[in-house]
């Protein structure tokens, strides 16, 4: 039978790429890591990795075993937590989520949890999707709330459970007196405008570029900001126009309008990722579903 400790080291090797990095994560020397993985290779009877310079590259068989390792290790962690929690949702559930989902979905879930599940405690960690997924893989959180853009599809993260929460449309943010501020905005009318986009990552830049390409122009992305409230202030002050998710509008000023794009659906799918599902994790997923349904119905 394969040793779970060695499977965990193989999983970490697939993520970090070197014996030294795996040793730092696992709290052991790189030589001990190497010995464990050599032993795992002997146990399986197949070649799992090869050295390429200072890094280690997994073979096809190594990648296959990593997939099995995710399944086995997630199941073991789920069994441990399930035995501790029994049938009653209790204890802390650490949730990593991007800011607008925290405000719109997670905080209402926290409020409901206090009345519905008194022994359940939701711990909130703000993190962008890539950071949240890394924290989930490393065991620093139990759940990650992330998103993907409908024009930029991505595969499901390996070894994680993925559950769709809701669709959140993107709207064009414009000054209310802008000539293009009709019921639906033709992006071609904004071809000469400056655009404002997020400064963390490139996904929202790619979304604007993809949408603009479909409309036949290349956008001038001149300004960047992390916070949607700041982006909307920049729109108010005439720095440009922006694509903003519905959840990022908040209490926007009356001199701004938000309009859908004509002849093009722009949205992000909000998703809940987990490594394993215990009563507590399932309770939080149910609470998030309830708050998302309520938000869609407003």
Three-point CA angle 195, 164, 116, nearest 5°: 115
Helix (H, G, I), strand (E, B), or coil: what is residue 239?
A: coil
Residue 111 backbone phi and psi in degrees, to 5: -65, -45
Average pLDDT, stretch 184-190? 95
- pLDDT for position 157: 86
Q: Which residue among 55, 83, 111 closes a domain?
A: 83
Domain co-membership, 129 together with 213: no
Domain co-membership, 75 together with 215: no
- pLDDT for position 1: 76
Domain co-membership, 275 together with 161: yes
Q: Which residue among 50, 68, 83 closes a domain?
A: 83
Mean pLDDT check: name the lowest of 67-71, 118-122, 194-198, 209-213. 67-71
Helix (H, G, I), strand (E, B), or coil: what is residue 82?
A: helix
| Maximum average pLDDT range among 44-48, 145-149, 197-201 | 145-149
Domain co-membership, 93 together with 115: yes
- pLDDT for position 85: 56
Domain co-membership, 240 together with 154: no
Number of structural domains found in the chain: 3
Q: Is the pLDDT of residue 153 over 70?
A: yes
Reported in sequence order, the residue ranges of 192-266 that DSSP labels E, i.e. its strands, are 194-198, 220-225, 241-245, 256-259
Average pLDDT, stretch 67-95? 79
Domain co-membership, 282 together with 156: yes
Distances from the Cα of 8 to the Cαs of 44, 77, 128, 168, 178, in angstroms? Answer: 15, 12, 25, 36, 56
Domain co-membership, 184 together with 220: yes
Domain co-membership, 277 together with 131: yes
Total-model pTM: 0.71
Domain co-membership, 176 together with 235: yes
Strand partners, 167: 269
Those residues whose C-beta lies under 8 Å from the C-beta of residue 3, and which sit 6 or more positions away, are: 36, 39, 40, 43
Domain co-membership, 93 together with 148: yes
Mean pLDDT check: name the lowest of 110-114, 175-179, 250-254, 284-288. 250-254
Domain co-membership, 60 together with 105: no
CATH number at residue 10: 1.10.10.10
Average pLDDT, stretch 274-284? 91
CATH number at residue 255: 3.40.190.10
Residues 117-130: tens digit of each pLDDT: 999 999 999 999 99
What residue numbers bound the domain in which 52 lies?
Answer: 4-83
Domain co-membership, 197 together with 232: yes
Please return the burial class of 153, using the count of CB atoms within 10 Å of its CB with bins 0-12, 13-18 and 19+: exposed
- For residue 95, the surrounding DSSP H or E stretch is strand 91-97
């Amino acid at each position: 039978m394969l040793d779970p400790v060695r499977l965990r080291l193989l999983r970490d090797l697939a993520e970090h790429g070197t014996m030294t990095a795996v040793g730092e994560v696992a709290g052991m020397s790189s030589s001990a890591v190497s010995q464990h993985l050599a032993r795992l290779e002997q146990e399986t009877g197949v070649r799992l990795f090869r050295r390429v310079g200072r890094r280690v590259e997994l073979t096809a068989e190594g990648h296959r075993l990593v997939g099995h390792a995710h399944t086995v290790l997630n199941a073991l962690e789920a069994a441990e937590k399930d035995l501790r929690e029994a049938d009653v949702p209790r204890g802390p559930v650490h949730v990593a989520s991007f800011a607008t989902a925290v405000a719109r979905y997670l905080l209402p879930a926290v409020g409901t949890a206090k009345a519905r599940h008194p022994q359940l405690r939701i711990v909130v960690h703000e993190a962008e999707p890539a950071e949240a997924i890394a924290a989930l893989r490393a065991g620093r959180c139990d759940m990650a709330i992330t998103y993907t853009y409908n024009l930029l599809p991505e595969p499901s993260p390996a070894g994680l459970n993925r559950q769709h929460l809701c669709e959140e449309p993107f709207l064009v943010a414009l000054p209310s007196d802008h000539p293009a501020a009709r019921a639906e905005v033709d992006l071609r009318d904004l071809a000469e405008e400056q655009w404002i986009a997020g400064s963390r990552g490139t996904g929202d830049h790619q979304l604007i570029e993809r949408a603009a390409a479909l409309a036949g122009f290349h956008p001038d992305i001149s300004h960047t900001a992390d916070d949607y409230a700041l982006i909307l202030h920049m729109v108010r002050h005439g720095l440009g126009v922006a694509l903003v998710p519905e959840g990022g509008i908040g209490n926007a000023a009356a001199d701004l309008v938000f309009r859908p794009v004509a002849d093009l659906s722009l949205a992000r799918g909000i998703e809940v990722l987990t490594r394993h599902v215990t009563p507590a994790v399932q309770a939080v997923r149910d609470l998030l579903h309830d708050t998302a349904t309520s938000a869609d119905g407003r």
